[in-house]
Structure 1
Amino acid sequence: MAIRAFRKQLAALAVTTAVAGLGLTAPAQAAPQPLPYVALGDSYSAASGVLPLDPTASLLCARSTANYPHVMAERIGAALKDVTCGGAQTKDFAGSQYPGVAPQLDALSADTRLVTMTIGGNDNSTFINTILACATAGIASAGQGHPCTSLYGDKFTDDIDTKTYPAVKAALQAARNKAPGARVAILGYPWIMPAKAQAGCFLKMPIASGDVPYVRDIQIHLNRAVERAAAETGATYVDLSRASEGHDACQSSGTRWVEPALFGTNFVPVHPNARGEAAMADLTIGALGLG
């Protein structure tokens, strides 16, 4: 029996050697193809104000190579097509935002497998009007009282409900129609203001103490509108509210994710810094289960 087993081993060895000599080895598995990923959206996605700038983008977009789409693509090994652009509104998904800048939806195709965005904050100039109007009122009142609340009341939140929400919903649906095989994620906006007025914040964000909750509530309203639009179009909503708490523009330079209006480090104020963009990438990867 031992001799018979030995002969079988010799025969198997001979066959293996012959196959190897003929080059008939098992084919190597093909390397996995990178995930086709398209980044859409406004300055919070473009990281406008963060260096270095993306040389492939229009200077008007102020797109950074340190934005969360670039961070995400590197971490998950995706093939990124980044068309984010500072100042983008929902209308710029279907139309050209600047001369030579194509509509953002043109970047999508049936091959796209991942889409991310922040959008809606520039519609009706919600962000800029809120900050400018409330800062102007705050300076006029020397930071006392709630002049912006008294002047504008429900104007900003009414615009969000009647104009921004349906526009964001339509933009999300248009993205899904252009890339039916893709997972679509829309991020909420990280906190700009704390929940309550803080000592020293007026020097960086000149909002009257009584208007700080008012400005915060406008952002809550906007993020809820974005979340609602995501739920109604089958997109993933990436909620930044809990994670960005305590990282608002009133915090110290080593803590904040959003730079203040005054004495910040970005060349575009009231926007995420590189730390904030990296955090947005982490949270999006986690929400999509791509880690």
Structure 2
Amino acid sequence: MRTSRGDHTTHTDFHAPARRDRTAPHTRPRTRPRTRPGTRRGTRLLTTLGALTLALAMTLAITPSASATGWQPRFGHYVALGDSYTSGPLVPLPKPTAPLGCARSTTNYPTILAAQTHVGSFRDVSCGGAATGHMTEPQRTPLGTNPPQLDALRPGTDLVTLGIGGNDEGVFGDLVGICPGLRDENPSGSPCRDHFTEAGTDTLAEAVARTGERVGAVLDEIAAASPRATVLVVGYPRITPAPGTGVTCPDVLPFADGDLAWADDIETALNDELRTASENHGASFVDMYPASYGHDACAGLQAWIQGKDTNPLVAMSYHPNAAGMYGVATEIRRTLSAGN
């Protein structure tokens, strides 16, 4: 996902067609969290995430290989494709694989999934800032070039996860790069939505509506390269609080109140495009919205998404942290189990 158009450093991803029911059973609105450096709560947050990261790292380290146990894995060759919501920039610990500009982490969801499901072999070619075009074209980063991600596929590949779409046409970069700066104009309104509305048309919603077709084309390429593969398209988890909860946290997620709901509409529309592409091109969709209810950037110690401030010990701004990566891996496993 990214923070500005044309910037190929690690960034994020993400009209509004008919909205699906995105609300969970009624819960009491959460109190706005306030985590400040030096406070006991801030210390507890780092301690909690640090412990989780250590536990995940130990899980990966002690998981026995298929060859060591004689157990035959369900999947022989797993390939992970995607953008920074897959690669996990700054989620401890980084994976020293080329190119370094892709910012892959050893606790991103593909690595967790590969360890938990005991796949025979595993390749993670995800890269921060990737768009659908980088599935078939090289991606240049400040620290090297990532080959076309689909080059990692082979005829015997039998598991593929794809997390892509938010960087297409700079949608996510526009959201996180422009909306926070407009909040002061109208904190209770929707100045960012107004900024991207031209002649009554929501330009970001229109951009999202064009993304599904490109994702569908990528899925066709995957099917041609690896015809036996189980393919899962991974949706984006919630960044903003669920509409109707009344939750805001301008010190963490500095969007105007109306723009929080609008940003949720944009992300929901993107996920709907990914779902439709999956259904039309023979893939399964991993819906992260229900699973991430109550884990948005405003959720304090329960957050799966980092807020506006990058923390080199936790995650890049507006990106999943270690808990979020574990949550995505869990939901993928649930989807795989349901398909049995």
Say yes or no: TM over 0.5: yes
Note if 1:125 corresponds to 2:173.
Answer: no
What per-residue deviation string (whole Å, max 9, x for no partner) do you get for residues 137-170 of structure 1? 11343x23211122213111111113x1111111
| SS of equivalent residue, structure 2 residue 277 | helix
Q: Which of 1 and 2 has higher RCO (CA within 8 Å, sep 6+)?
A: 2
Whether the 8 Å CA contact 2:191–2:259 is kept in 1: the answer is yes
1:234 aligns to what?
Answer: 282
SS in 2 for 1:241: helix
CA-CA distance at 1:247 after TM superposition: 0.3
Partner of 1:258: 305
Q: Structure 1, unaligned stretches of length 5 or more?
A: 1-29
Deviation at residue 186 of structure 1 after TM alignment = 0.7
- Per the normalisation by structure 1, the TM-score is 0.84
Residues 244, 136 of structure 1: alpha-carbon distance in 2 compared, 3 angstrom cutoff: same
Displacement after TM superposition at 1:228 (Å): 0.5
- Say how many residue pairs are matched: 260
Once residues 98 and 317 of structure 2 are traced to their aligned partners in structure 1, the CA distance between those partners, rounded to angstroms, is 20
Report the secondary structure of 1:287's partner residue: helix
Q: Compare the two structures and name the one with the higher helix fraction.
A: 1
Answer whether contact 2:83 2:163 (CA < 8 A) is retained: yes
Larger CA Rg, structure 1 vs 2: 1
Match of 1:76 in 2: 117
1:90-105 matches, cutoff 5 A: 90-98=132-140, 99-105=144-150
CA distance in 2, matches of 1:147, 1:224: 25
The reply to whether residue 116 of structure 1 matches residue 157 of structure 2 is no
Residue number in structure 2 paired with 1:43: 84
Q: CA RMSD in A?
A: 2.0
Shift of 1:32: 2.2
* Structure 1 residue 174 corresponds to structure 2 residue 221: yes
Give the distance between the partners of 1:213 and 1:75, measured in 2 at CA: 36
Map of 1:287 onto structure 2? 335
Task: Describe the shift of the 1:211–1:261 C-alpha distance in structure 2 as closer, same or farther (beyond 3 A).
Answer: same
State the secondary structure of the residue aligned to 1:65: coil
Equivalent residue, structure 2, for 1:87? 129
d(CA) in 1 for partners of 2:334, 2:168 = 28
CA distance in 1: counterparts of 2:96 and 2:149, whole angstroms:
18
- Given that residues 144 and 208 in structure 1 are in contact (C-alpha distance below 8 angstroms), is that contact kept between their aligned partners in structure 2? yes
Which residue matches 1:62? 103
- Decide which moves more: 191-200 or 230-239: 191-200
Aligned to 2:326: 278
The alpha carbon displacement at 1:267 in A equals: 4.6
For residues 205-259 of structure 1, give each alpha carbon's deviation from its aligned partner in whole angstroms, at most 9, with x where no partner exists: 110012111011000000000001011100010011111011001110x200111
Larger CA deviation: 179-188 vs 47-56: 47-56
The separation in 2 between residues aligned to 1:249 and 1:31, in whole angstroms, is: 40
Matches of 2:96 and 2:112, distance apart in 1: 16
Quote the offset at 1:57 in angstroms: 3.2
Contact kept, 8 Å, 2:314 with 2:322, in 1: the verdict is: no
The question of whether the paired residues in 1 share the 8 Å contact of 2:310 and 2:316 is answered with no
Match of 1:148? 192
SS in 2 for 1:134: helix
